[in-house]
């Protein structure tokens, strides 16, 4: 696959994993269309790689802007070979506390924005019968912790959409990979984390410890963003790729426990489940 990869389009490159992805891709000699809501956040990186980078403003909830970015990318580099959908943010609060406007904005960004970018790059990938789409999910796309109901719902939606997408575009030579990071040392638990405005006292035992003001994990997470970026580049260059790629030892541990719990529950309730079939 390596010889087919020349240009990446990466969303959400201002900081965190997105920034690490952009830096690693450019450092390894690929072309990269790097995007963020504020183009100024990309100035230093763009100046460091003037020939192989294209820094553009992109709000992934703005379809007109998405189409413009894809057009400019194809004009400069010819095609987009890899799309890395990274843009997004954290949101915490009990389900009952969730503000309707805030949660709709979360889905507009995390899910519908991701879909809009995919739909914009697919015509070019279909035309050349090759391409790779990477959608950043989370271990929160496998299970939901208290306070992360809406965030996980958005990630579950990304994973469900990606599962169908890979089966639709696979025969066309296009690969789809879902990235599921554990906790990485970024500002995800810092400035990128939003919380509900309404606080209901009854949820202090379950949700309270995970509220933004109580979360002390920022700066202590086990995952190294640079290593994550290197791992993803290596996977994309491989001939065979996974559909889901967990990143981090914590991701492996937590997801294995979740899958084992689900299997145990399935076995315990199988008699009830199969009893709903028509009698033969």
> Which entry of 116, 137, 148, 162 is annotated as an active-site residue?
137
Tokens standing for 68?
A: 């413009």
List the domain boundaries for the chain. 2-252
| Range list of H helices, 189-243 | 225-237
Portion of the chain with pLDDT greater than 90, in percent: 82
Cα 193 to the chain's mean position, in Å? Answer: 15
- Find residue 131's DSSP bridge partners: 174
What is the three-state SS of the chain? CHHHCCEEEECCCCCHHHHHHHHHHHHCCCEEEEEECCHHHHHHHHHHCCCCEEEEECCCCCHHHHHHHHHHHHHHHCCCCEEEECCCCEEECCHHHCCHHHHHHHHHHHHHHHHHHHHHHHHHHHHHCCEEEEEECCHHHCCCCCCCHHHHHHHHHHHHHHHHHHHHHHHHCEEEEEEEECCECCCCCCCCEEECCCCCHHHCCCCHHHCHHHCCCCCCCCECHHHHHHHHHHHHHCCCCCCEEEECHHHHHHHHHHHHHHHHHHHHCHHHHHCCCCCC
pLDDT in tens, 215-268: 666 656 767 889 999 999 999 999 999 999 999 999 999 999 999 999 999 999
Clarify whether 52 is annotated catalytic: no
pLDDT in tens, 142-175: 999 999 999 999 999 999 999 999 999 999 999 9
| pLDDT average, residue stretch 45-70 | 96
Provide the whole-model pTM.
0.92
Taking the C-alpha atoms of residue 70 and residue 8, their distance in angstroms, rounded to an integer, is 11
Taking the C-alpha atoms of residue 62 and residue 31, their distance in angstroms, rounded to an integer, is 24
Clarify whether 89 is annotated catalytic: no
Portion of the chain with pLDDT greater than 70, in percent: 93
**Mean pLDDT, the chain, as a whole number?**
92
> Which entry of 151, 152, 162, 212 is annotated as an active-site residue?
151
> Which entry of 155, 162, 203, 212 is annotated as an active-site residue?
155
Clarify whether 155 is annotated catalytic: yes
More confident call, 249 vs 280: 249
Classify domain 2-252 at the CATH class level.
alpha beta
The pLDDT of residue 192: 65
């Amino acid at each position: 696959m390596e010889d087919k990869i020349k240009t990446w389009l990466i969303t959400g490159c201002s900081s965190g994993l997105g920034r690490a992805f952009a830096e690693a891709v450019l450092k390894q000699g690929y072309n990269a269309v790097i995007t963020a809501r504020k183009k100024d956040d990309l100035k230093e990186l763009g100046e460091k790689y003037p020939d192989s980078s294209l820094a553009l403003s992109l709000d992934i909830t703005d379809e007109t802007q998405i189409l413009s970015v894809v057009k400019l990318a194809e004009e400069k580099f010819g095609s987009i070979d890899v799309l890395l959908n990274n843009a997004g943010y954290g949101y915490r609060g009990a389900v009952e506390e969730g503000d309707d406007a805030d949660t709709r904005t979360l889905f507009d960004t995390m899910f519908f924005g991701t879909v809009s970018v995919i739909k914009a790059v697919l015509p070019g990938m279909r035309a050349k019968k090759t391409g790779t789409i990477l959608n950043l999910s989370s271990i929160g796309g496998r299970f939901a912790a208290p306070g992360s109901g809406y965030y996980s719902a958005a990630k579950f939606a990304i994973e469900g959409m990606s599962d169908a997408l890979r089966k639709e575009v696979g025969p066309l030579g296009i690969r789809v990979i879902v990235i599921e990071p554990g906790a990485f040392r970024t500002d995800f638990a810092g400035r990128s984390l939003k919380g509900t405005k309404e606080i209901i006292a009854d949820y202090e035992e379950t949700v309270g410890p995970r509220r933004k003001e109580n979360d002390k994990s920022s700066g202590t997470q086990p995952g190294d963003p640079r290593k994550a970026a290197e791992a993803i580049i290596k996977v994309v260059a491989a001939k065979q790729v996974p559909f889901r790629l967990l990143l981090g030892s914590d991701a492996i541990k937590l997801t294995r426990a979740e899958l084992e719990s689900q299997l145990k529950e399935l076995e315990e309730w199988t008699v009830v489940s199969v009893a709903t079939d028509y009698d033969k």
